[in-house]
Amino acid sequence: MVLFIAQGLIWTVIITLSSFALGALFGVFVALARSASSRVIRALARIYVDMIRSVPPLVWLFIVFFGLAELGLKLSPLQSAIVTFSVIASAYLGEIYRGGLASLGSGQIEAAQSIGLSRFDLLARIISPQIFRTVSPSMVTYGIGLMKDSALASTIGVVEMTFRANQVTQSTGMGLTSFAIVGGIYLALSIPLGLWARRVDEKMRKKYVVN
Amino acid sequence: MSTENKTYLSARNITKDFGTTRVLDDVSMDIQSGDVVSIIGPSGAGKSTFLRCMNLLETPTSGTVEIGDFAITLGAGRSTASKKELATLRRNVGMVFQSFNLFPHLTVLENICLAQRRVLGRDAEQARVRAFELLDRVGLKDKSEEYPGRCSGGQQQRVAIARSLSLDPQVMLFDEPTSALDPEVGAEILAVMRELAEEGMTMMVVTHEMGFARQVGDKVHVMVGGRIVESGDPEQVMTQPSHERTRQFLAAVLGR
Ligand SMILES: Nc1ncnc2c1ncn2[C@@H]1O[C@H](COP(=O)(O)OP(=O)(O)O)[C@@H](O)[C@H]1O
Ligand SMILES: [Mg+2]
């Protein structure tokens, strides 16, 4: 039974990692749009973020899976889950980046501009590495949340752990055991991730003491 | 390129508004190649804003910034400079800040090499050689592998000067480079600046160091309330100021 349920882990991992990676990438654009000099762009980005955060992930998942199908765009359950969680992650991670950007202070950006660095270099070599250090703990926390949310994909038919545990329960009636196994696997994933994030953070803190 | 005794950097009729507040009101200033110009005045006068307009870190509401034969005019429907204008200006104008603004995630050496490689396109070895030349000059050769967080304020400011010089600028802007430092440490920075001036660097310096303005500066401008109220020979301005606001300011600064 453990093995049967654990086979669903692959989908949990695929959904979590791909959505996190895509969300982390698009989140950069969200953060840039949120701090753009144009008021219109800032307002649009704000609406995007607020809209995503105000609606439960399950509802977004259904909108993407059932809603888009109705409009003629038929996505598989897995595709729907990845699209939904990527978009949601882009909003949350974008806000996390923006917080880091605000804490960076204008001096760094001015210094980079004064030596003529391009906007790309400013972002890639000055801003990103510095805010990565401050935001990585929040990013990992979000990633753990995302992993837990990926269980929602079972509702549209992705055969991940929760889905399988449900199958087991239907056929054997052993609901407590099967879902305890799912819980245990999530626990076994979350705890090391959290510890790893803390270690990385401490290591980087030691490397360049900022005064 | 500029020749000796030709106006190198000039600001003409610079006005800057923040919202409805006018922070700079029709400020004009020229600097000749090889000269050192000081800008003094009370806090809040607009000195930093003016200096930042000279390399367009701050975009003037209207006015012209001219470097060599290259002029950038803003206002009259034009509210931003083009990428090319910014690049040209910043390639020729270096800036040193009151708060150093070194990149804390890069070592001293990386701080000095980054723009050499990414902006001037020097290769790693060329950039390194130039960086060590400059570090040697500011007396910090042995700090090349340190992170800025492990350097004292005075050391950080010297690295910042080296970082700026690494791009071989035609003009250097200094915004109160010693204000965040203890007086003895500030004196070391002033010594470095004095040396630069003697080697013929064109410099525009916002400072509260009257001694520096007087001994090193070729000209001083007194800024009060977003306007230049008095300009001239530093000795003249400091011993016989012609404007009441200058007198008040000097009394406040020198009286301390
Ligand atoms: N980004 C800004 N937004 C609004 N007001 C500003 C900004 N920067 C500076 N000011 C205002 O402009 C005036 C001049 O500031 P500043 O140029 O820093 O003066 P100084 O360097 O002479 O002390 C001050 O009143 C300051 O509050
Ligand atoms: Mg100032």
**Per the structure block, which two tokens stand in for A20?**
């996190």
- Of residues B55, B105, B148, nearest to A114 (C-beta): B55
**Per the structure block, which two tokens stand in for A71?**
């409009």
pLDDT score of A211: 42
Angstrom CA distances, B123 to A65, A118, A119, A138, B91, stand at 52, 18, 21, 37, 17
pLDDT score of A209: 56
Is B103 within 8 Å of chain A by CB? Answer: yes
Indicate which residue's Cα is closest to atom 14 of ligand 1.
B46
From its phi and psi, is residue A152 left (phi > 0), alpha (psi between -120 and 50) or beta?
alpha
Rounded Cα distance, B194 and B180, in Å: 19
Contact A9, A70 (CB under 8 A): no
pTM here? 0.86
Please state the ipTM of this predicted complex: 0.91
Mean pLDDT of residues grouped by 10 in chain A (211 residues)? 90 96 96 91 96 96 95 94 97 95 90 95 93 88 94 93 94 93 94 87 70 42
Q: Where are the alpha helices (DSSP H) in chain B?
A: 47-54, 83-92, 108-118, 124-137, 153-165, 183-198, 210-215, 234-239, 244-254
pLDDT score of A210: 52
User: Cβ B105–A121 below 8 Å, yes or no?
Assistant: no
Alpha-carbon distance A164 to nearest alpha carbon in chain B (angstroms):
46
- Minimal CA–CA distance to B173: which of B160, B184, B183? B160
Indicate which residue's Cα is closest to atom 27 of ligand 1.
B44
DSSP state of B45: S
CA dihedral sign of residues A58, A64, A68, A74: negative
Domain extents in chain A: 2-208
- Beta strands B93-96 and B36-40 are unpaired
pLDDT score of B75: 87
* Distance from residue A36's CA to the centre of ligand 2 (Å): 26
H/E element, B6: none
**Per the structure block, which two tokens stand in for A115?**
């030596």
Kindly list the residues from chain A whose CB atom is less than 8 angstroms away from the CB atom of residue B94.
Answer: 114-115
pLDDT beneath 70, residues of chain B = 1-6, 256
Q: What is the CA radius of gyration of chain B?
A: 18
pLDDT score of B69: 85
Indicate which residue's Cα is closest to atom 21 of ligand 1.
B48
Ligand nearest to the CA of B42: 1
User: Cβ A116–B87 below 8 Å, yes or no?
Assistant: yes
- Of residues A116, A133, A210, nearest to B115 (C-beta): A116
CATH architecture, domain A2-208: Orthogonal Bundle (1.10)
pLDDT score of B20: 93
Most A CBs within 10 Å: which of B56, B100, B101, as the mutation test of the A interface?
Answer: B101
Rounded Cα distance, B67 and B204, in Å: 13
User: Cβ A207–B147 below 8 Å, yes or no?
Assistant: yes
The predicted-structure confidence for B128-147, as pLDDT tens digits, reads as follows 999 999 999 999 999 999 99
What is the 3-state secondary structure of chain A? CHHHHHCCHHHHHHHHHHHHHHHHHHHHHHHHHHCCCCHHHHHHHHHHHHHHHHCCHHHHHHHHHHHHHHCCCCCCHHHHHHHHHHHHHHHHHHHHHHHHHHHHCHHHHHHHHHCCCCHHHHHHHHHHHHHHHHHHHHHHHHHHHHHHHHHHHHHHCCCCHHHHHHHHHHHHCCHHHHHHHHHHHHHHHHHHHHHHHHHHHHHHHHHCCCC
Is B94 within 8 Å of chain A by CB? Answer: yes
The predicted-structure confidence for B26-72, as pLDDT tens digits, reads as follows 999 999 999 999 999 999 999 999 999 999 999 999 999 999 888 99
What end-to-end distance do the CA atoms of chain A give, in Å? 54
In the numeric block, the tokens 């995007």 are attached to: A48
CB within 8 A of B173, min separation 6: which ones? B51, B54, B55, B93, B94, B95, B96, B203, B204, B205
